[in-house]
Amino acid sequence: MFFSIFVQFGQDIRHRSLLDNNNVQYGNRYYLGIRREIMLDKIDKMILAQLGKNARLSSQELRKTLQDGGHTITDRGVRHRIQKLEKNNIILGYSTILNPNIISEKINRIVLLKFTYKKSSQEKIKQLTDYVNQSSFCTYSNRLSGDYDWICNFIFDSIEQYELESDNFINRFLH
């Protein structure tokens, strides 16, 4: 069970504890707020693991998983434990993860370049560097070692913008 105790500054603290940032003054003495460490048992850890995989699991589904793991607990017991984990700020909230490929209307493209080295290669590399530094579409660009020489990541607002800039890029650097 979670509880707070106050220990006078300078007194030996023999328990493992989490410091609370709230120092308290009572009269002319200052006290340091101490919280005892919250211990999680196997059931709490299993609940957290399952909710980490799927935060929409019902208490009934969690109970079944716990029973499959050899623990006897009721739906109400699972709900009580979740409320305790929320109250003690172990579970801070629940969130939705959206698929950016479906939700976003932006076009994300990665371009890998392989150079054919000629006398003009250094000038082309400088032009490429200037282009990606000035481009509002390029979010990442770097020289590589290995099969490819350069990588660029572009994000466009529309297909039309992507097509126009792709033509511009090809005319500038691949001819």
Report the CATH number at residue 115: 3.30.70.920
pTM: 0.43
pLDDT tens-digit series, residues 10-60: 333 333 333 344 444 445 555 555 455 678 899 999 999 999 889 999 999
Q: Are residues 68 and 119 in the same domain?
A: no
Rounded Cα–Cα distance for residues 114 and 107 (Å) = 23
Within-domain flag for 72: yes
Within-domain flag for 93: no
Q: Are the CB atoms for 20 and 34 separated by under 8 Å? A: yes
Q: Are the CB atoms for 152 and 139 separated by under 8 Å? A: no
Within-domain flag for 150: yes
pLDDT over 90 (residue 88): no
Within-domain flag for 79: yes
Q: Are residues 27 and 69 in the same domain?
A: no
Q: Are the CB atoms for 34 and 17 separated by under 8 Å? A: yes
Domain that holds residue 57: 42-87
Within-domain flag for 95: no
Q: Are residues 29 and 56 in the same domain?
A: no
What phi, psi does 44 have (nearest 5°)?
-60, -45
Q: Are residues 13 and 51 in the same domain?
A: no
Which comes out higher in pLDDT, residue 86 or 119? 86
Q: Are residues 106 and 168 in the same domain?
A: yes
Q: Are residues 150 and 107 in the same domain?
A: yes
Q: Are residues 110 and 131 in the same domain?
A: yes
What phi, psi does 111 have (nearest 5°)?
-115, 125
Q: How many domains does the chain have?
A: 3
Q: Are the CB atoms for 62 and 47 separated by under 8 Å? A: yes
Task: Among 87, 121, 149, give the residue marking a domain's end.
Answer: 87
pLDDT over 50 (residue 5): no
What's the one-letter identity of residue 149? D
Q: Are residues 169 and 109 in the same domain?
A: yes
Q: Are residues 107 and 74 in the same domain?
A: no
